[in-house]
């Protein structure tokens, strides 16, 4: 049996990012860049008016001259010609500033009469209301660095630089195998001794919230033959296989034995933690395999503490683990040393409350939780007001 810290260290050591792929920017939300992206253009690509007004020569303003309007420059339709002293072009936001002009005076600041304008006398610096060509970014400069997460702003930024596709870390291919003779699908009446299968629902939802789709889902009974057969092909064809149940040492738990026979490397089995002690983590060629203890709250704890960071590392995220906070616990909690606890908690500003229903079979407390309170193995009971480490659920 290993410690929580050792298990996490092994995850960091043994999980690597997936092979990058080229992908359209519109399909890349929340994915991580696997390259430095260079701008294809100067941005803006030309001296651009930031306002509706008149493109002028600044010296005309200083001399308080009347300025003749010689044409119009709407966005997307540059004025064909050059401005000389005493001349202006009516210009609109986003339009190219005509040659010869060095300043834009906004329309609210001019007096306009008989095809001529004059400044109302408000101070106006040279270059006002013009976004200079390339002021935001120059062609060939790094727009976004390797490792950047593509949020909606990033996708808009890249589109604005004319970049249709980029190299990102892909989404992992995930298979889920649910074991248990006693499991029935929700919606069908339970026979004597049956319970409803809930783990695949929780796992699929947790993956969906990471925008990861499950490629294959199998529900199987507790026989060695089916277990071994059902594991083989997902291990060949997935980046990660999540097995629910059957990983303990009961007579009908076949997952460990079958993974061994399928030559899956055992990286760790059993962590000194509650819930989720008999967690298995292994690898066969490039596929990761997690054997999750079947109790519904164990599945969720193990998912968030170990599977979630693995999936994030595979997708190139630098901050793979759940975000943490230090909060004051709102009541005493009894605990013995030697085992780490992950308790479903609810944060309230600087405090955290330990929820009712911490049994590993009770996933109901997860429905109310927004964090896991981590009480490390070396710690005994905690007193109300003590600061504890909290892992925030995403």
- Could you list the residues that contact ligand AMP (CB under 6 A)? 178, 180, 182-183, 195, 197-199, 244-246, 248, 250, 293-296
What DSSP element (H or E) covers 178?
strand 174-179
Q: Is 279 helix (H, G, I), strand (E, B) or coil?
A: coil
Spatial distance between the Cα atoms of 115 and 87, rounded to a whole number of angstroms:
11
Q: What are phi and psi of 258, to 5 degrees?
A: -70, -40
Spatial distance between the Cα atoms of 297 and 257, rounded to a whole number of angstroms:
24
CB of 294 to Mg ion, least distance (A): 5
Location of structure tokens 């996708």:
155
Spatial distance between the Cα atoms of 173 and 184, rounded to a whole number of angstroms:
26
Nearer to Mg ion, 128 or 178 (CB): 178
Nearer to ligand AMP, 153 or 250 (CB): 250
Nearer to ligand AMP, 125 or 193 (CB): 193
Q: Which parts of 292-321 interact with Mg ion (CB under 5 A)? A: 294
DSSP state of 108: G
Burial class (CB in 10 A: 0-12, 13-18, 19+), 140: exposed
The total of other beta-carbon atoms located within 10 Å of residue 152's CB is 9
Nearer to ligand AMP, 85 or 195 (CB): 195
The answer to whether 275 contacts Mg ion (rule: CB under 5 A) is no
Per-residue contact track with Mg ion, 240 to 259, x per CB under 5 A?
Answer: -----xx-------------
Supply the DSSP string of 14-47, one letter for each residue.
H--PPPPEEEEGGG-TT-BBSSPEEPSS-BSSS-
CB of 360 to Mg ion, least distance (A): 13
Nearer to ligand AMP, 190 or 384 (CB): 190
Residue 76 interacts, among ligand AMP, Mg ion, none and using kind-specific CB cut-offs from 5 to 8 Å, with none
Residue 178 interacts, among ligand AMP, Mg ion, none and using kind-specific CB cut-offs from 5 to 8 Å, with ligand AMP
Residue 18 interacts, among Mg ion, ligand AMP, none and using kind-specific CB cut-offs from 5 to 8 Å, with none
CB of 353 to ligand AMP, least distance (A): 26
HSE value, Cβ hemisphere, 13 Å, CA-based, for 130: 26
Nearer to Mg ion, 294 or 296 (CB): 294
Residue 42 interacts, among ligand AMP, Mg ion, none and using kind-specific CB cut-offs from 5 to 8 Å, with none
The answer to whether 291 contacts Mg ion (rule: CB under 5 A) is no
Nearer to Mg ion, 246 or 296 (CB): 246
CB of 246 to ligand AMP, least distance (A): 5
Residue 282 interacts, among Mg ion, ligand AMP, none and using kind-specific CB cut-offs from 5 to 8 Å, with none
Nearer to ligand AMP, 23 or 244 (CB): 244
Q: What is the distance, to the nearest Å, from the Cα of residue 247 to the centroid of all Cα atoms in its chain? A: 30
Please give, one letter per residue, the 3-state secondary structure of 122-163. CCCCCCCCEECCCCCECCCCEEECCCCECCHHHHHHHHHCCC
Q: Which parts of 174-193 interact with Mg ion (CB under 5 A)? A: 180
Q: What are phi and psi of 213, to 5 degrees?
A: -95, 145
Closest residue to Mg ion, based on beta-carbon distance:
245
Residue 296 interacts, among Mg ion, ligand AMP, none and using kind-specific CB cut-offs from 5 to 8 Å, with ligand AMP
CB of 173 to ligand AMP, least distance (A): 21
Q: Are 302 and 291 in contact (CB under 8 A)?
A: no
Location of structure tokens 């629910």:
244
Interface contacts to Mg ion, rule CB under 5 A: 180, 245-246, 294
């Amino acid at each position: 049996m290993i410690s929580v810290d050792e298990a996490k260290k092994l995850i960091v050591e043994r999980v690597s990012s997936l092979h990058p792929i080229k992908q359209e920017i519109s399909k890349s939300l929340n994915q991580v860049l696997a390259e430095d992206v260079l701008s294809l253009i100067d941005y803006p690509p030309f001296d651009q008016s930031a306002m509706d007004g008149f493109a002028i020569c600044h010296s005309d303003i200083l001399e308080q001259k009347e300025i003749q309007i010689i044409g119009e420059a709407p966005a997307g339709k540059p004025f064909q010609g050059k401005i000389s002293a005493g001349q202006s072009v009516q210009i609109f936001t986003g339009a190219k500033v005509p040659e010869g002009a060095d300043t834009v005076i906004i329309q609210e600041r001019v007096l306009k009469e008989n095809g001529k304008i004059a400044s109302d006398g408000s101070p106006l610096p040279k270059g006002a209301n013009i976004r200079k060509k390339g002021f935001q970014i120059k062609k060939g400069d790094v727009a976004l660095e390797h490792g950047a997460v593509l949020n909606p702003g990033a996708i808009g930024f890249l589109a604005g630089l004319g970049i249709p596709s980029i190299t990102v870390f892909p989404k992992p291919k995930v298979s889920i195998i649910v074991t248990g003779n006693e499991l029935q699908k929700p919606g069908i009446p339970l026979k004597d001794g049956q319970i409803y299968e809930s783990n695949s629902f929780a796992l699929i939802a947790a993956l969906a919230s990471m925008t990861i789709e499950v490629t294959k889902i199998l529900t199987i009974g507790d026989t060695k033959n089916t277990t071994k057969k059902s594991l083989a092909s997902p291990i060949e064809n997935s980046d990660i296989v999540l097995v629910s149940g059957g990983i303990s040492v009961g007579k009908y738990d076949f997952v460990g034995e079958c993974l061994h026979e399928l030559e899956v490397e055992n990286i760790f089995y059993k962590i000194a933690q509650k819930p989720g002690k008999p967690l298995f983590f292994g690898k066969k060629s490039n596929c990761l395999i997690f054997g999750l203890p079947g109790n519904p709250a164990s599945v969720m704890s193990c998912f968030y503490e170990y599977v979630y960071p693995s999936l994030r590392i595979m997708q190139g995220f630098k901050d793979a683990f759940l975000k943490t906070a230090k909060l004051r616990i709102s009541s005493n909690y009894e605990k013995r040393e030697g085992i780490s606890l992950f308790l479903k908690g609810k944060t309230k500003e600087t405090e955290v409350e330990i929820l009712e229903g911490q049994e590993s079979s009770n996933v109901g407390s997860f429905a109310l939780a927004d964090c896991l309170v981590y009480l490390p193995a070396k710690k005994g009971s905690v007193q109300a007001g003590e600061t504890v480490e909290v892992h925030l659920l995403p």
